[in-house]
Amino acid sequence: MTSTPIDSAHDSPAATAGFLSKARTIAGPGFNRWLVPPAALAIHLCIGMAYGFSVFWLPLSKAIGITDPVACPTGTGFFDEMFTTTCDWKISTLGWMYTLFFVFLGSSAAIWGGWLERAGPRKAGLISALCWCGGMLISAFGVYSHQFWLMLLGSGVIGGIGLGLGYISPVSTLIKWFPDRRGMATGMAIMGFGGGAMIGSPLAQKLMTSFATSTSVGVWQTFVVMALGYAVFMTCGALGYRVPPAGWKPAGWSPPTAASGNAMITTKQVHLKNAHKTPQFWLIWAVLCLNVTAGIGVLGMSSPMLQEVFGGKLIGLDLGIGSLDADQKKAIAAIAAGFTGLLSLFNIAGRFFWASFSDRLGRKLTYATFFALGIALYASVPGSGHIGSTALFVGAFCIILSMYGGGFATVPAYLADMFGTQFVGAIHGRLLTAWSMAGIFGPIIVNYLREYQLSQGVAKAQVYDTTMLILAGLLVAGFLCNLLIKPVAPKWHMTEAEVAEARKLAHEIAPPAAAGTQAAGASGPSPMVLLAWLAVGIPLAWGVAQTVAKAAVLFK
C-alpha cells in the first residue's frame, strides 16, 4: 500500500513548507504505519555501534607500533596523550570515548528533546546522521594524524550528540502511531540500539583485517567505510519517517479510561515544562537509573567476571585463573567472548519481549517484575559461582540482561502512560540523563570495588560476591521507587486550549474533514512494508548469526 501525503494539495500548509519541515512528514491516506518501525531501526542499528566501539581499542593501542604498543615516556599525562604523535594511547585513555558517548547522549537528548517535538523526526534523524557519521570521519582523521583530541571531539562529542538525537527521534512518533501497542512499538526500535554492536563489531573486525598493512592497523579506513555506509542507511531511515495527523487513532481502537480499569494510563497531557516538577518524573528517573546501573556494570565486566569466577573449570580443569598457562587462558577467553555474545542476544531480545509484554502486564507491574526477579538473581550469583555451576551463573545473567534491555524499551511507554503523548519524546530525552548517571555509577561500583577487594587479598573467584549483593540492594531501592509511582495529579494536566496551542506550535495538522481520523495508518501487508523490513532485517539477522556462532563456544 503506497503513501499519498496530505501535502499534495496546493492549499495545504504542508505544500509551502520546506522539505525538512514537520508538516511535510504528515502521512496521507493509504500510508502504512508498519513502515515507521523499520525507519527507526535503520537509525538505531547504526548508532547502536556505540556499544561495540571497544572492538577498536586494542588495534588503536598499537596504532604506531602496529604489532606492539609504543609506550609513552614515564610521566606522560592524559593531556599529553591527546596531542602526542610519538607513542601509542593506553586502552584506559581510549575508553574516554565510550564515556563521552553516553554523557552526550543523555545531555543532548535532554537539551534538544523539546526542539525535536517541534522540528519532527525527519529533521532530527538527518542531523543525527550528520553528527554520528561526520563524527566518525573526524575520528578517522584523528587516527590518521594520531591526534586523540580529534577522536574525542569527533566520535565522543559530535557523535554523542548524534546518538542522543537519533535515539529519541522515533519515540514520540512510534507511540502516536501505535497507541494500542506502545510498548511493542518502542521495543522494536530500541531493540535496534542493542543490535547495532552485533552488526558493527564483526563488520569492523573484518574491515580492519582487510585494511591492515605493515604500516597501518586499518582503523581509520574502517571508520571511513562505516561512516559512509551508516550515512546511507540513516538517511534512508530519516526520510522514511512519517507522523500521523493530529487526532489520528487506529481503526476500532478507543483510548483507555480510568473507568475501564486503566488508571495508570492517562488520557490527559502534561506539559514538558511541568513534567520534571512532578514526583512521577523523578521516581521513573530513579527506576531507570537503578535498573541500568545494575545492568551496565555487569555488562562491561562480563568477560573477565566469567573467567575470574570459574577459571580453569571452563575447560575442565580445577585451577584458578592465575594457575593457567597462556594457551589455557586463550581458550577460556574465547568462551568468555561467547558469554558476552550470549548476553548481547538476551539484551536485544529482552527489549522487544519485555516492552511488548508490558502492553498486557502494565508498565508498573513489568518494572516490579524486573526488580523482584533481579534481586533474586543477583543474590543467587555468588552461590552459583561457589558450587561451580556455569549453567546457573550464565542463566542468571542472561535473564538479568534481558531485563536491562527491557527497561530501556519499556520506559518510553511508561512516560506516555504517565504524562500523555504530546511531549513524550522531549520528556524521554530529559529522562535519559538517568542513563548518563548510570553509565558512571555502574562501572565505578563494579570496577573499583573489584580493585579494592583484590588489594585486600580477596581471591579473584570471590571478588564479585559483595558486588552482586550491592547491586541487589540497588534493585531493592528501585522496587520501592516503582511502588511509589501513582497517576499524575490533575493540577498538572493541560487544558484543551493548551493542548490545541501546543499542537499548533508543534506544527501538528489534522487530516481533512472528509478523510476522518483513519486518513493514514493502514496495517495490511504491502510490498513496500516487506522491502523496508528486509532492509533492516537482513543485517540484523547477519549480526545475530555472527553472535550465535561466538556464543556456541559456551556449549561445546
Q: What is the mean pLDDT of residues 13-26?
A: 72
Q: What is the pLDDT of residue 337?
A: 78
Residue 58's H or E segment, with its range, is helix 57-60
- Is the pLDDT higher at 510 or at 422? 422
Pick 246 or 540 by higher pLDDT: 540
At 446 the pLDDT is: 78
CB 385 within 8 A of CB 464: yes
**Does pLDDT of 164 surpass 80?**
yes
Output the CA–CA distances (angstroms, integers) from residue 154 to 101, 134, 141, in the order listed. Answer: 11, 7, 9
CA distance 352 to 410: 9
Q: Is the pLDDT of residue 4 over 50?
A: no
pLDDT tens-digit profile of 334-393?
A: 888 788 888 889 999 999 999 999 999 999 999 999 999 999 999 998 898 888 888 899
- What is the rounded distance in angstroms from the CA atom of residue 455 to the CA atom of residue 29? 67
Please state the separation of Cα 269 from the chain's center in Å.
Answer: 26
Output DSSP code: residue 408: H
Instruction: Return the pLDDT at 262.
Output: 65
For 57-71, what is each residue's pLDDT tens digit? 889 999 999 988 898
Question: Is the Cβ–Cβ distance between 402 and 344 less than 8 Å?
Answer: no
The mean pLDDT of 95-115, rounded to a whole number, is 88
Question: In the chain, what percentage of residues exceed pLDDT 90?
Answer: 51
Q: Is 5's pLDDT higher than 70? A: no
Q: What is the model's pLDDT at position 125?
A: 96
Q: What is the pLDDT of residue 516?
A: 40
So what's the pLDDT on residue 258?
A: 54
pLDDT number for residue 523: 60
What digits encode the pLDDT tens for the residues 326-351?
Answer: 888 888 888 887 888 888 899 999 99
Which pTM value belongs to this model?
0.86
pLDDT grade, residue 509 (50/70/90)?
low
- Could you tell me which residue, 51 or 460, shows the higher pLDDT? 51
- Main-chain dihedrals φ then ψ at residue 267, nearest 5 degrees: -105, 0
What DSSP state is assigned to residue 446?
I
All 3 cell numbers of residue 358? 508490558
| Phi and psi, residue 464, nearest 5° | -95, -5
Kindly provide the b/e burial profile for residues 488-514, where b requires at least 16 CB atoms within 10 angstroms of the residue's own CB. Answer: beeebbbeeeebeebbeebbbbebeee
Q: Is 510's pLDDT higher than 80?
A: no
Smallest Cα–Cα separation from 406: which of 170, 200, 194? 194
Please tell me what DSSP assigns to residue 214.
S
Angle between helices 159-168 and 121-145 (to 10 degrees): 160
Question: Among 64-73, 210-219, 320-329, where is mean pLDDT lowest?
Answer: 320-329
**Start-to-end Cα distance in the chain:** 47
**Residue with grid cell 520546506, as numbered in its chain:** 18
- Sorted by sequence, the CB contacts under 8 Å of residue 199 that are 6+ apart come out as 45, 49, 539, 540, 542, 543
Between residues 301 and 131, the one the model is more confident about:
131
**Is residue 257 very low, low, confident or very high in pLDDT (cuts 50, 70, 90)?**
low
Q: What is the pLDDT of residue 511?
A: 54
SS (H, E, C) 447-472: HHHHHHHHHCCCCHHHCCHHHHHHHH
Comparing 234 with 307, the larger pLDDT belongs to 234
Q: Which three cell numbers stand for residue 283?
A: 521516581
pLDDT: which is higher, 3 or 52 = 52
Please state at what angle helix 390-419 crosses helix 363-386, rounded to 10 degrees: 160
Cα(82)–Cα(94) distance, rounded to whole angstroms? 10
Name the most confidently modeled range: 40-49, 78-87, 185-194, 300-309. Answer: 40-49
Domains and CATH numbers, the chain: 22-248+527-556 (1.20.1250.20), 276-493 (1.20.1250.20)
Rounded distance between C-alpha atoms, residue 164 and residue 254, angstroms: 33
- 449-489 pLDDT, tens digit per residue, is 877 887 888 877 787 888 888 999 999 999 999 999 999 99
